[in-house]
Structure 1
Amino acid sequence: MMANKEVTWFILSAVVAAAHALSVNTPQKQVQVKKGDNITLPCTYESSVLTPAKGDIVAWMKMPEEAEFINRYLDDGGTWISDAYKGRVNFSSNKNNHDIGIILSQVTLNDNGTYECSVRLRDDPPLTHSTMELLVLVAPSKPDCKIIGTTEFGQNINLTCNSIEGFPKPEYSWQSYNPENKQRALVGTVTPGVLMLKNISIDTTGYYICLAKNSIGESSCNITVNVTPPSMNFALLGGVVGGLVAVVIIIAVVAYCCCCRNGKEKDYEMTETENGDHPPEVKIRGPAEEEIQDEEEEEEEDRHQPVQPPISKVSPEV
């Protein structure tokens, strides 16, 4: 008999506990919203407690920080909102409804994450909660386009394209145009966000457009590629130019010296020809040669003297 009473008491306790069991439900486990739009995060609770008691409270927090940003007391409707969310969040219904969802406005990328809705009733413990995921969808931001490498004949270069923002993750595509702005077949190897161009030539010159696109929107950027001849090393170029200048100067100096020397020799020869003067020859003679020369000079002087008629002698008269 005692055993039957214990069984009956256990069954009644289980029925009462089941009747008072608190449940919290988020009907959508994942919601998506476009950046800048408003979104409702739905949440409801069920309990046999019809009249809220003092201290009964519902609250929302973002995981994993586990910091509440909004709560409301069910008995008097008093609501608290954190400074970070003021003006952007509020409950979607009044306190007399078991709907305890919230409306989040002007959604940003920072709102991405997991949210927890919780209820605590004094007469229906313990605290119960449910979670859901918020995905903020963002159109690709304007891509940042760059050229990696040197745009010289025969070089390999990479054209890169990357959007800082974008969810879902953007997909990238490329288009190529010649200098006359006419579209042409794309030549190169494409990987996500990169166009690889190998052994570039004058045919590579032109405009390249990168398009970043996802389910929310698209954006693009363009790159101008101007292929140039290989450039010399400036230090080497300076050395070559300096060497050539030095050679030219040396040649000019040598040529000038040669011209001056030839001019002086010609002037000297012309002066001798005009004057007819030649330096006297120096001859060393002995004593005998000097006597012979003296005799020759005397004979030469005698030849040039006038001939005097003979003077006849007159005898004195007697």
Structure 2
Amino acid sequence: MACTGWWFIWSYCLAFILLKYGEGVRVTVRETNLEVVQGDSVTLPCSFFTMMPLFRLNIIWTFMSPSDPQSPTQVIVYDNGQVIESPAFTGRVGFAGIPWSADIILNSTRVSDAGIYRCVVSNPPETGDPGIGELSLSVLAPPSLPVCLWDGDAGAGGTVSLSCMVSEGMPTPEMRWEKLEPEQVSLPVIMEEDHTGSVHIANVSSQTSGLYRCSVTNVLGTQNCYVNLSVYTSSHSSPGILQGVLLTLSMALVLLALLVLVLWLHRSGQEIKWRDGGEEDECYNEIRYTPSLMKRSFV
């Protein structure tokens, strides 16, 4: 009777296991949300249970980017003892405990590695659908060096916009604009979706001139960029510039007229001198040769 009882218990447990796990590979993900700092390594966990030997074990890891969730890409594959890495992850990914575990290690993480990772395990001739596990990876990164620009009319009474752009940072960096000189003043920032923060300053004046700083901050650090804004006053400078231009043109015209007059007088004097010289030569010839002609006539 005792043996019969033990056999009944053993049969019941075996039947329970077969009913519970006999419909395919069971996959468990120990952590569904992971964080890693850019450049560090992280282990993506994936445990599985199967009733069959691991001779034909197949493991596929895929990645879905938040920007394109409908187009998953392959990360790494284990198939019949062979490991195949995706070109995008070559040299940065590998299995941690194959074949007893489907965990993978991702090295030299990048911001672009953030997204949804899926672990798919099958083990023929195990029947049923493959086991699937899914987790989310966030990659933290300090802010990149921002770029500060200004645009608008820097003349008195105009409107100027200061913009600050950062290409990278996770979590999304916070931006702050300040005027540092001649006194420190905080300015309201208008945030946009593309990691850009701007400040609009209307009716600028000479008091608006000074050094402005944009600070970009998240939990991993702070970066700064600067703009030196100079506001000019056009209402007083324009008449002076116009008067100077007109005076210069007037003096140039007077000098040109004097030059023309001098050249004309010089040429007139040359013509008079030439005429007078020609008449003197004719008179001189008559006086010189007349006596000789007279002498010859008497002979």
TM-score range, shorter chain: 0.5 to 0.7
Aligned to 1:220: 224
In structure 2, distance between residues paired with 1:175 and 1:238: 35
SS at match of 1:18: helix
The answer to whether the aligner puts 1:86 opposite 2:86 as a matched pair is no
Question: How is 1:167-186 mapped onto 2 (pairs within 5 angstroms)?
Answer: 167-179=170-182, 183-186=183-186
Aligned to 2:59: 58
Give the deviation of 1:178 after TM superposition: 1.7
Question: How is 1:27-46 mapped onto 2 (pairs within 5 angstroms)?
Answer: 27-46=30-49
Letter in 2 for 1:191: I
Greater per-residue helix proportion: 2
The answer to whether the aligner puts 1:191 opposite 2:197 as a matched pair is no
Change (3 A) 1:41 1:233: farther
Change (3 A) 1:190 1:71: closer
SS at match of 2:31: coil
Tell me how many residue pairs correspond in the alignment.
233
In structure 2, distance between residues paired with 1:48 and 1:206: 74
In structure 2, distance between residues paired with 1:149 and 1:59: 55
Aligned to 2:18: 16
SS at match of 1:110: helix
Aligned to 1:72: 78
SS at match of 1:16: helix
User: Is the CA contact 1:189–1:197 (under 8 Å) kept in the aligned structure 2?
Assistant: no
Greater per-residue strand proportion: 2
In structure 2, distance between residues paired with 1:242 and 1:200: 28
In structure 1, distance between residues paired with 2:202 and 2:106: 50
| Identity over aligned pairs, percent | 25
Give the deviation of 1:237 after TM superposition: 10
* Aligned mate of 1:105, from 100, 104, 107: 107
In structure 2, distance between residues paired with 1:227 and 1:47: 75
Give the deviation of 1:48 after TM superposition: 2.6
Give the deviation of 1:14 after TM superposition: 8.1
Larger Rg: 1
In structure 1, distance between residues paired with 2:124 and 2:30: 25
Deviations 1:35-76 (A, max 9, x none): 111111111112233x213x3211111124334231223x6x
User: Is the CA contact 2:175–2:189 (under 8 Å) kept in the aligned structure 1?
Assistant: no
Q: CA RMSD in A?
A: 3.3
Q: Name stretches of at least 5 consecutive residues in structure 2 with no aligned partner.
A: 1-13, 65-69, 192-196, 262-299
Change (3 A) 1:189 1:239: same
Q: Provide the TM-score with structure 2 as the length reference.
A: 0.67
Give the deviation of 1:164 after TM superposition: 0.8
Q: Name stretches of at least 5 consecutive residues in structure 1 with no aligned partner.
A: 1-11, 258-318
